[in-house]
Amino acid sequence: MRAEINGQKYYGKHLMVTAVNCNENLLDIPTVSRFIKEMVPAIDMVPYGDLVIARFGEGIEVGISAVQLIVTSAITIHTNDTFRDLYLDVFSCKWFEEEVVIKMINDFFAPGEIKENVILRR
């Protein structure tokens, strides 16, 4: 990325999203897989290797975790089945539009509330 904003040089963008009270799609591994696989080209990234995804945990901590390496860094997801919460991180040294990711989360998982934070990494 190596962007310069207001005289400050940045290496990458890190999007962190918390989406709570999502619909039942969040409980479905094939749907979460499809979400990630569709998000990669939607934000103009290139996957590096296969998606790693599994459901594990105990008690109220059971959920899905997934990692998709991308040529410019990684996308990670962690969910909580009990509360239907989604925690997503997208980090890339290539610029991307976080609005695309937020729209996809809303379209796939219809959260009751969504919070996002973007950090430009130096």
Q: Residue 80: which domain range?
A: 3-121
**Average pLDDT over all residues of the chain:** 96
Task: Provide the percentage of residues in the chain whose pLDDT is more than 90.
Answer: 89
- Residues 57 and 110: their CA atoms lie apart, in Å, by 24
**Are 122 and 11 within 8 A, CB to CB?**
yes
- Measure the CA angle with vertex 66, ends 16 and 12; round to 5°: 40
Q: Which residues of 89-99 are buried (b: 16+ CB within 10 A; e: fewer)?
A: ebbbbbebebe
Q: For residue 54, what pLDDT is reported?
A: 99
pTM equals 0.93
User: What is the token pair recorded at 21?
Assistant: 């009270």
- Residues 35 and 110: their CA atoms lie apart, in Å, by 13
Q: For residue 79, what pLDDT is reported?
A: 99
- Residues 105 and 110: their CA atoms lie apart, in Å, by 7
CATH of the domain at 85: 3.60.90.10
Q: How many domains does the chain have?
A: 1
